[in-house]
Amino acid sequence: MVSNILSWLIWLPVAGMVAILLIPRNKEEVIKIVAAVSTGLQLWLAIMLWLNFDSASGSFQFMENVAWIPSFNISYALGVDGLSLPMIILTPLLSFLCIFVSWKIDRGVKGYFALFLLLDTGMIGVFLALDFFLFFVFWELMLLPMYFLIGMWGGPQREYAAIKFFLYTLVGSVLMLIAILALYFTCGNTFSIPELIEAAPGALEGSIWWGMSAIKVIWILLFVGFAIKIPVFPFHTWLPLAHVEAPTAVSVILAGVLLKMGIYGILRINYPMLPDAVFWFAGALAVLGLINVIWGAMCALAQTDLKKLVAYSSINHMGFAMLGMAAVIAASGLHGENYIAAQAGITGAVFQMFNHGTISAMLFILVGVIYDRAHHRDIDGFGGLARQMPVYAGVTMVAFMAGLGLPGLSGFISEFMCFMGAFPVFRVIVIISTLGIVLNAAYFLSAYKRIFFGELNEKYSGLSEIDGRELFTLIPLAVITLILGVYPGPFLNMIKETMSVLIDQVVLIGNFAVIP
């Protein structure tokens, strides 16, 4: 076991980036290999971390803590628990696969892979940081490479998409920064997330800012910051644009990892630090989840661009996770202390984060495969491709089925858990949102039909079958989807203990009196 494994996980890609910057830019193969090796090593470290992780403990493990700026009480603090571990496995996995997805980038190769590795560091850092300041720095660090990756290697509207993504996220970030500073000064001058979790519920009790409880003010500031990332309706308009314009690998990262940061942030920060507000906001969260489910599905139904369809399906899938999160209040006294429902809902939400990461990654890679060959993504522009590309059609079938939540694949389990958790508390909302599943099936199946069945479009009779490199990026994800769909037990156990602690933090510390 490597010592300081978390630091290694974070800084390995930066080491790769520095190496890439030193390689002359015409040696493109070497650059790609360095990128693959550094993300590959990172993936290996993540698996090591997983094997050594103690699932029976709900607290932070492998912690590192070094004073950084003592005068402001800022430290370099890292740690991993059942909430962050799934994302720590997912991020290097997708980064590693995405190096191969982007193997055919032909313009500015050096810059592309250097930025990609920097993005990787930012993402891992967000999930591992236990210091709020450090969290914020990584959160922002991610924006810079993302802006360039969309803006320099994206589609026709890339400039607009890149700046829109940047502006939206920055609005959220500055609100978050204000909340971070307000927490710092009201909760005993600390940025440490574990310390804030201890101190914040008591310290904020009773203070009123502008006629509103301080707890609510901070909740709203943080929530908007995270909601933009998820993205929650009505902050979602950056997403279809950014996803569609970004190059394939970047879409994969956007959907697979970046969207999860919003949910991760709410569970890591909002829930334990502001438990009083969870009760106040859970209803709204469930309703927003419902809107995401229905709105995302309806929009996906209306798309003719395959990539846009996948993008809207992300909005829909995040809605399920939000429903699951809202279920946490089932454990409160008011709702009959239904710990099982709360546990199912919130564990389901985290599991949904992971599953959506693998499934949407597959979907985006598949869109990229067809786009590389046909140079368009119009669903109605194909037809009969199943005959021309049988293997591609098969893999796409698995991905689409996973996306619509077919039992036996991982997406079904997590969506089911989210519904199960939320049902006792939000009965009507859950019943309406099951409609989303039907709509999911409708748009995935109709898209599948239009692309793969029917007469073969003569224009595409020369399309080549999916190649080995592309299959290499898809098979691992498909296998994970299958295994987790049949036997999710060990994976859920890894998350469960941390979620029990989180539920206790919310339900036992939270004071469910009506706050002003």
Partner 1 sequence: MNNLQSLSYYWPELLLVTTILAAVVYDLLTKPSESQRVGLLVFAGLVLTLFANWFTSAERNITLFLDSLALDPFAQFFKTIIIFSTLFVILISRKSNELRIYRTGEYYTLIAIMVFGMFLMVSAIDLIMVYLSIEVVSISSFILAGYLKQDQRSNESSLKYVIYGAFSSGLMLFGLSILFGLTGTTKFFEIQNVISGLDTSSHFALIIASVFILAGFGYKISAVPFHFWTPDVYEGAPTPVTAYLSVAPKAAGFALLIRFFHVLFTDAGLFLESENGIPTIPWPQVLAGISVATMTLGNLVAIQQSSVKRMLAYSSIAHAGYMLMAMPILSGNGVFAIMIYLVMYLFMNLGAFFVVIIVKNKTGGETFEDFRGLGWEMPLVGIVMALFMFSLTGIPPTAGFIGKFYIFAAVIKAGPSFYWLVFAGAVNSVISLYYYMRVVKVMFLEGESKEEHIFPSILESALIIILAAPTLFLGVYWAPIAEWITNSLRFFHQGI
> Applying CB under 8 A, which residues contact partner 1?
68-72, 107-108, 136-137, 140-141, 143-144, 147-148, 151-152, 158-159, 162-163, 166-167, 170-171, 174-175, 177-178, 181-182, 184-185, 209-210
Q: 189 or 461: whose CB is closer to partner 1?
A: 189
Q: Least distance to partner 1 from the beta carbon of 72, Å?
A: 7
Nearest CB to partner 1, comparing residues 166 and 452: 166
Cβ-based nearer residue to partner 1, 163 or 456: 163
Q: Which is nearer to partner 1, 68 or 416 (CB)?
A: 68
Shortest distance, CB of residue 292 to partner 1, whole angstroms?
24
Distances (CA, A) of 304 to 239, 309, 319, 378, 397: 17, 7, 22, 6, 18
Q: Which residues of 173-195 are buried (b: 16+ CB within 10 A; e: fewer)?
A: bebbbebbebbbebbbebbbbbb
Integer Cα distance of 366 and 357 in angstroms: 14
Least distance to partner 1, CB of residue 136, Å: 7
Burial of residue 441 (CB within 10 Å: 0-12, 13-18, 19+) is middle
The encoded tokens of residue 345 equal: 């809902």
| Nearest CB to partner 1, comparing residues 94 and 142 | 142
Separation between Cα atoms, residue 327 and residue 338, nearest integer Å: 10
Minimal distance, residue 259 CB to partner 1, in Å: 21
Q: Which residues of 458-474 are buried (b: 16+ CB within 10 A; e: fewer)?
A: eebeebeebeeebeebb
Distance (Å, whole) CA 8 – CA 177: 27
CB of 213 to partner 1, least distance (A): 12
Nearer to partner 1, 118 or 502 (CB): 118
**Looking at beta carbons only, is 144 or 463 nearer to partner 1?**
144
Query: Of 111 and 405, which CB lies nearer to partner 1 in the complex structure?
Result: 111
Round the CA-based radius of gyration of the chain to a whole number and report it: 22
Give least dist CB 31 to partner 1, A. Answer: 15
What whole-number distance in Å separates Cα of residue 314 and Cα of residue 307? 11
For tokens 């932070």, the residue is 60
Residue among 48 and 143 whose Cβ is closer to partner 1: 143
Token code pair at residue 267: 């569970």
Q: Least distance (Å) from partner 1 to the CB of residue 251?
A: 18
Give me the DSSP letters along 53-103. --TT--S-EEEEEEEEEGGGTEEEEEEE-TTTHHHHHHHHHHHHHHHHHGG
Query: How far, in Å, CA of 287 to CA of 43, rounded?
Result: 37
CB of 34 to partner 1, least distance (A): 19
The encoded tokens of residue 198 equal: 């201890």
Q: Please report how close the Cβ of residue 76 comes to partner 1 at its closest, in angstroms.
A: 11
Amino acid at position 417, single letter? M
- Nearer to partner 1 by Cβ, of 170 and 340: the residue is 170
Listed residue (356, 347, 392, 353) closest to 374, CA to CA: 392
Shortest distance (Å) from residue 478 CB to partner 1 = 35
The DSSP 8-state label assigned to residue 379 in this structure reads: G
